[in-house]
Amino acid sequence: MTTPPTIPVAKPIIGDEERAEVDRVLRSGMVAQGPEVATFEEEFAAALVAGRECVAVNSGTSGLHLGLLAAGIGPGDEVIVPSFTFAATANSVALTGATPVFADIEPDSFCLDPASVAAVVTDRTRGIMPVHLYGQSADMAGLGSIAQQHGLALFEDAAQAHGATFEGRPVGTLGTFGTFSLYPTKNMTSGEGGMVSCDGDVAHRVRLLRNQGMAKQYANELVGLNNRMTDIHAAIGRVQLRRLAGWTEDRRGNAAFLDAHLENVVVPTVREGSTHVYHQYTIRVDGDRDGMVQALREEHGVGSGVYYPIPNHRLPSFDLDIDLPETERAARQVISLPVHPSLSTGDLERVVEAVNAVAKAGA
């Protein structure tokens, strides 16, 4: 019997239109940051962050780093971040010379827990940087209340949350800045890249910082970096942006199918008043999580991912002895299942059948 192909946990969609747009830019001779980037910034702002100014950069990590620098974060400062996320969040704080301070997460959303954040505020704390993890907003009301009480800034890591909302407002408009990743596995891609949504002086400084500190060639106003996006990447991003709304609806529909049919696992919850864009569809399992991942792959041809198996505070790069029980529990239990727009009904049925069988058997 022929084994069906493995269903991947993520599948970037790059089509003929993206290829044609790349060819158009190459033929133009303008391949570095130029008019294509400027147009992409305007279109991204209009589509996803209610017209807030956007600055394109070469990665989501660069966006976080430059946003923090532009907001004045530096040596001696502390910024509170989750430990249950990709290391880029804490890395970006450390790269400014500031100290990332790790707080615990909510058990339902996997996002920063305001109560845990409040417990680690010190006189050196300058900001709070939640991650809108897996495509759902953090509790920006609870975190905003803490920020207001202590005179802190809010910074948004929206790398996984293109189009998500909190109480009717788009993520990326709820803090001093918000940063989106355009890595190939995200809900939309530019091949590689990032976008920073920000206003006023912060936007001006991000633009300078991404371009060696220059607004005018050779007139460097501050010490900057080369974190520019190319017109080639922007051309890909513009096509993907036009398709994002449809892809997001596909992700939500796929998530609803999984919600309705999965058994013996804890399916994702959606925060009341928010929209989830399902960058990942992440379940919790009791027992042998790694055994389930292996069984899904080897016995059923269903790919999955564990995001994230090692909390940031336990990575060798930070190596801190702190107590974050919900973070540790999530790191032991989470599995992300395929939810991407390329899934067919048959694929979804295979995922459900496989998960239910393995969960019932106890992995």
- In angstroms, rounded to a whole number, what is the distance separating the alpha carbons of residues 31 and 38? 13
User: What whole-number distance in Å separates Cα of residue 171 and Cα of residue 55?
Assistant: 16
Q: How many CB atoms lie within 10 A of CB 15?
A: 10
Q: State whether 225 and 343 are in the same domain.
A: no
Q: Are residue 132 and residue 40 in the same domain, yes or no?
A: yes
Task: For residues 144-148, give the mean pLDDT.
Answer: 98
Has residue 49 been placed in a domain? Answer: yes
Q: Is the pLDDT of residue 362 over 90?
A: no
Q: Report the number of distinct structural domains present in the chain.
A: 2
Residue 4 lies in a domain: no
Asked whether the beta carbons of 66 and 196 are under 8 A apart, the reply is yes
Instruction: Check residue 363 and give its pLDDT.
Output: 57
User: What residues contact 228, with CB distance under 8 A and at least 6 apart?
Assistant: 32, 33, 37, 56, 57, 58, 210, 211
Q: Within this chain, do residues 44 and 156 fall inside the same structural domain, yes or no?
A: yes
pLDDT at 2: 61
**List of residues 6+ apart from 141 with CB closer than 8 A:** 166, 167
The reply to whether 158 and 193 lie within a common domain is yes
Residues 243-297 pLDDT 10s: 999 999 999 999 999 999 999 999 999 999 999 999 999 999 998 999 999 999 9
CA distance 307 to 88: 13
Question: Burial letters for 247-272: b for 16+ Cβ neighbours within 10 Å, e otherwise?
Answer: bbebbbebbebbeeebeebebbebbe
Q: Which residues pair with 54 in a beta bridge?
A: 197
Length of the chain measured in residues: 363
Q: pLDDT tens-digit profile of 220-244? A: 999 999 999 999 999 999 999 999 9
Average pLDDT over the chain reads 97
Is 225 in the same domain as 267?
A: no
Cα dihedral 59, 215, 48, 273 in deg (nearest 10): 90
Quickly list DSSP for 35-93: HHHHHHHHHHHHHHSTT--EEEES-HHHHHHHHHHHTT--TT-EEEEESSS-THHHHHH
- Angle 289-300/345-361 helices, nearest 10 degrees? 130
Give exposure, 177-207, as e/b (b: 16+ Cβ within 10 Å).
bbbbbbbbbbbbbbbbbbbbbbeeebbbbbb
- What digits encode the pLDDT tens for the residues 92-142? 999 999 999 999 999 999 999 999 999 999 999 999 999 999 999 999 999
CATH code at position 34: 3.40.640.10
**pTM for the whole thing?**
0.96
In terms of domains, do 218 and 312 share one?
no
Residues 329 and 253 in one domain: yes
Residue 263 within a domain:
yes
Do residues 342 and 250 lie in contact, with contact meaning Cβ atoms separated by under 8 Å?
Answer: no
Amino acid present at 180: F
Per residue in 42-72, pLDDT tens?
Answer: 999 999 999 999 999 999 999 999 999 999 9
pLDDT digit string, tens, across residues 287-307: 899 999 999 999 999 999 999
Task: Judge if 197 and 270 occupy the same domain.
Answer: no
Residue 1, pLDDT above cutoff 60: no
Cβ 363 vs Cβ 285: under 8 Å: yes
pLDDT band at 161 (very low <50, low <70, confident <90, very high): very high
Virtual CA dihedral for 199, 203, 205, 208, nearest 10 degrees? -160
Amino acid letter at 326? E
Domain membership of residue 282 as a residue range:
245-361
105 within some domain = yes
- Same structural domain, 217 and 326: no
Predicted pLDDT at 3: 64
DSSP assignments along 169-218, one per residue: EETTSSSSEEEEE--TTSSS--SS-EEEEE-HHHHHHHHHHHBTTBSSTT
Maximum Cα interatomic distance, the chain, rounded to a whole number of Å: 68
Q: Is residue 70 domain-resident? A: yes
pLDDT(168) > 80: yes
Cα separation, 137 vs 148, whole angstroms:
19
